Structure 1
Amino acid sequence: MVNKKENNMSQARQAYNNGDYEKAHKIWLTQAEKGNPEAQAWLGSLYANGDGVDVDDKNALSWYEKAAEQGYSMAQANVGAMYFMGQGADKNVDKAIKWLSAAAENGDVNGLFNLAVIYTKGEEVDINLERAAELYQQAAEQGHYPSQSRLGYMYAHGQGVKKDRIKAYLWLSLAAQHGIGTALNELESIVKSMSAEEKAMGATLSEQWRNKTGANTMQVAMQPTPSN
């Protein structure tokens, strides 16, 4: 039974990758109505992005939330982001934090990043740079480029963490190599004030982390809602 369900899900993913959204939608709808959280999340993705259907944020949120309630971390992150941005429902920061926190506890990088953004900006919550840095760190260690960039900036300026040019170099260089322009600009700025020894230490750390996080740097296959 499990193999048949997984086979159906595999067929749906293949259809989606081939642009056959109608077939993917049909399979995922059948599985979602049976309570499959992955299928529910993918249905949310279709409606959020308008893949083969009209964009429908309310319907997207409904399916995401069903998956989120079953502990599907990617859906939890998307529900949190949608409540924070007021997509599919009125903006609700409390619900956003609830779902982003759940996703973060499950190690979801988008949940970690978006929750960190909320604490960094202090939008309807108290600014908490220390907490933001912790969250960025967890996502950065999984190879999440935007989090690496934000964390590097915080180390460069001593925001939420003790100022540390070597750690700033580490995270900014990792982000910069993947095209994060703000990271490259910040890296060029701090390099001017670093000694040759500091640069060498930063480069060594960067190489070590590049090897460590290399397996985690692929983009998540399903990112239905944008990061803030």
Structure 2
Amino acid sequence: MNDMTHPAAMTDGVSAYEAGHFDAAYTLFEKLTKDDDPIAWFWLAVMHGNGDGVPVDKVRGFECCLRAAELGNVQAQTNLGVMYIQGDGVPADAEKGLNWLCSAAEAGDTGAQFNAATLLSAGKVVEKDLPRAADFYRMAAESGYFPAQARLGFSYRNGFGVAKDRCKAFLWLTLAAQHGAGTAINMLEGLVSEMSPDELYNGQELVTAWMAQHGAEQQEPRFQVETQ
């Protein structure tokens, strides 16, 4: 569950945290965890991880984040996935990290979608799975996150996890390029030189339809995992 058990108390806790009154915030969040409030567990994880009003304790931060994730808090699931992958407060375990990222990704978290796709496409710490990576890139791209749009365009151009499709590649690379993504701009220039007039027309029709439906709204996940 993601629902707060005591909304008013949670609001007070968040307000105290944002005002820098960490002692008061911690007291409120800790009290709420007695009822297993997942958001309270999430905030305790943040405070222990960052050292906000308490000594930095990565292990305790992980434990609190794990409890929040187990209770269904999607943001905690994303954070937990990154913790497992990076070995932050817990021994590194890429498979567990990927599983938590996938849970959050399926629940609609854009950051988790992009991070899961990055891991699956790189194949460095988990088994490479290009079709699954493309699916997650698509989820994030459709939410308006332009780095995912660039990656999805690259996938369509090269047939990585999807059938080659220059028109769809044109759509996603154009959307990413409109936000100044240098890699997308370069790929788009190369793609256009390869496309027939009919393909260019059809690709532009896809862009026009996308913009009519979605506008220019874009999203930016909180962080990205590194696979080096």
TM-score by length of 2: 0.82
1:187–1:23 CA distance, 2 compared to 1 (3 A): farther
Alignment-mate amino acid for residue 227 of structure 1: V
Partner of 1:135: 136
Q: 1:145-164 residue pairs with structure 2 within 5 A?
A: 145-164=146-165
Shift of 1:132: 0.9
- 1:137: how far off? 1.2
Matches within 5 A, 1:44-193: 44-51=45-52, 53=54, 55-193=56-194
In 2, Cα distance between equivalents of 1:182 and 1:55 = 38
CA distance in 1, matches of 2:27, 2:216: 33
Secondary structure at the aligned position of 2:194 is classed as: coil
Does the C-alpha gap of structure 1 residues 83 and 10 become closer, same or farther in structure 2, counting only changes over 3 Å? same
- SS where residue 125 of structure 1 aligns? coil
> Which deviations, in whole Å up to 9, do the C-alpha atoms of 1:66-92 show, x marking residues without a partner?
111012122112111110111111111
Shift in alpha-carbon separation, 1:164–1:53, aligned structure 2, 3 A:
farther
Could you tell me whether the CA contact under 8 Å between 1:61 and 1:82 is conserved in 2? yes
Aligned to 2:12: 11
Letter of the aligned partner of 1:137 in structure 2?
R
C-alpha spacing 1:19/1:169, structure 2 compared with 1 (3 Å): farther
In 2, Cα distance between the equivalents of 1:127 and 1:88?
A: 26
Question: How far does residue 43 in structure 1 lie from its aligned partner after superposition?
Answer: 2.7
1:203 counterpart residue number = 204
Q: Distance in 1 between matches of 2:88 and 2:149?
A: 27
Instruction: Evaluate the alpha carbon distance shift between residue 143 and residue 89 of structure 1 in structure 2; reply closer, same or farther with a 3 A threshold.
Output: same
Native 8 Å contact 1:77 1:99 kept in 2: yes
Indicate yes or no: 2:36 matched with 1:38.
no
Which residue of 2 is the match for residue 227 of structure 1?
A: 225
C-alpha change, 1:131 and 1:21, in structure 2 (3 Å) is same
Paired amino acid for 2:225: S
Alpha-carbon separation, structure 2, partners of 1:184 and 1:51: 41
Aligned residue-pair number: 224
> What are the Cα deviations for residues 178-197 of structure 1, in whole angstroms up to 9, with x where unaligned?
34332233223322323444
Query: Structure 1's 218 and 113: CA in aligned 2 closer, same or farther, altered over 3 A?
Result: closer
Tell me the C-alpha RMSD between the 2 structures.
Answer: 2.9
Structure 2 stretches lacking a partner, 5+ long: none
Native 8 Å contact 1:143 1:214 kept in 2: no
Identity of aligned residues (%): 39
Larger radius of gyration: 2
1:18: Cα distance to partner? 4.8
Q: CA deviation at 1:7?
A: 2.3
Q: In structure 1, what is the Cα distance between the partners aligned to 2:126 and 2:7?
A: 41
Q: TM-score, normalised by structure 1?
A: 0.82
Q: Is the 8 A contact 2:5 2:35 kept in 1?
A: no
